[in-house]
Amino acid sequence: MKSEFTNNDRQPVVAESDHSSALFQPLNLRGLTLPNRIVVSPMCQYSASDGCATDWHLLHFGSMMTSGAGLFIIEATAVDPRGRITPECLGLWNDDNEEALRNVLSRVRKYSQVPVGIQLSHAGRKAASHRPFVGKGPLKSDQGAWPVIGPSAIPFADGWQMPHAMSRADMDEVVNVFAQAAKRADRLGVDLIELHAAHGYLLSAFLSPLANQRSDEYGGSLEYRMRFPLEVFSAVRAVWPEHKPLGVRANGTDWHPQGLQTEDAVIFATELRKLGCDFVDMSTGGNAYTKVPIGPGYQVPFAEAVRQGSGLTTVAVGLIQSPRQAENIVASGQADLVAVGRALLNNPHWPWQAAEELGCSVEVPWQYFRAATKAGVPPPYVR
Establish if 20 belongs to a structural domain: no
Q: 46, 111, 201, 224: which one is catalytic? A: 201
Establish if 5 belongs to a structural domain: no
- The pTM (predicted TM-score) of the whole model is 0.92
Establish if 337 belongs to a structural domain: yes
Q: Which pLDDT score, from 0 to 100, does residue 19 have?
A: 57
What digits encode the pLDDT tens for the residues 324-354? 999 999 999 999 999 999 999 999 999 998 9
Mean pLDDT, the chain, integer: 92
Establish if 34 belongs to a structural domain: yes
What digits encode the pLDDT tens for the residues 285-316? 999 998 888 888 899 999 999 999 999 999 99
**String of b and e for 240-267 (b: at least 16 CB within 10 Å)?**
beeebbbbbbbbbbbbbeebbbbebbbb
Find the mean pLDDT for residues 233-260.
97
Per the structure, the complete domain to which residue 153 belongs is given by 27-382
Contact 98, 188 (CB under 8 A): yes
DSSP 142-164: GGT----EESSS--SSTTS--PE
Query: Could you give the number of structural domains in the chain?
Result: 1
Q: Where does 20-165 have alpha helices with state H? A: 55-65, 95-109
Query: What percent of the chain shows pLDDT beyond 90?
Result: 83
Find the mean pLDDT for residues 62-89.
97
Query: What percent of the chain shows pLDDT beyond 70?
Result: 92
Dist. CA 333–CA 210, nearest whole Å: 32
Establish if 10 belongs to a structural domain: no
Dist. CA 285–CA 86, nearest whole Å: 19
Q: Is 368 a catalytic residue?
A: no
Q: Where does 152-217 have alpha helices with state H? A: 168-187, 202-207
Establish if 17 belongs to a structural domain: no
What digits encode the pLDDT tens for the residues 119-173? 999 999 999 999 998 888 999 999 999 999 999 999 999 999 999 999 999 999 9
Establish if 57 belongs to a structural domain: yes
E strand spans, the chain: 27-29, 32-34, 38-40, 71-78, 116-121, 149-150, 164-165, 192-197, 246-251, 279-283, 313-316, 337-340, 362-363, 376-377
Find the mean pLDDT for residues 10-18.
38
Establish if 346 belongs to a structural domain: yes
Dist. CA 345–CA 364, nearest whole Å: 17
Residue 2 has pLDDT above 90, yes or no: no
List the one residue out of 131, 257, 122 whose CA is nearest residue 199: 122
Contact 212, 197 (CB under 8 A): no
- Specify the amino acid at residue 235: A
What digits encode the pLDDT tens for the residues 164-220? 999 999 999 999 999 999 999 999 999 999 999 999 999 999 999 999 999 999 999
The mean-pLDDT minimum among 141-150, 273-282, 356-365, 368-377 falls in 368-377
List the one residue out of 211, 295, 220, 215 whose CA is nearest residue 251: 211
Contact 271, 230 (CB under 8 A): yes
CATH of the domain at 198: 3.20.20.70
